[in-house]
């Protein structure tokens, strides 16, 4: 559910969503050279998800 909603949101990069799900990049070359952690972007996605869950909880 998280993945689908995050992708449909359209604001977040796929790399960040997949990283939050602990999915490994299938591209070996990119995986070898890209050491970015996307901390700010991951924080933004997590805050968005937290707000979504609070909305569900509070109705």
pLDDT tens string 45-55: 999 999 999 99
Chain centroid to CA 25: how far?
Answer: 13
Whether 19 contacts 42, CB under 8 Å: yes
| pTM > 0.75 | yes
38 in the Ramachandran plot: left (φ > 0), alpha (ψ -120 to 50) or beta? left
Residue 23: helix, strand or coil by DSSP? coil
Residue 26: helix, strand or coil by DSSP? coil
pLDDT tens string 2-36: 999 999 999 999 999 999 999 999 999 999 999 99
Whether 46 contacts 20, CB under 8 Å: yes
Backbone dihedral angles phi then psi of residue 5, each to the nearest 5 degrees: -65, -40
């Amino acid at each position: 559910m998280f993945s689908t909603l995050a992708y449909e949101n359209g604001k977040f990069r796929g790399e960040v969503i997949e990283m939050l799900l602990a999915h490994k990049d299938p591209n070996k070359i990119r995986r070898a050279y890209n050491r970015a952690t996307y901390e700010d972007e991951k924080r933004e996605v997590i805050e968005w998800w937290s707000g979504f869950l609070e909305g569900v909880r509070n109705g």
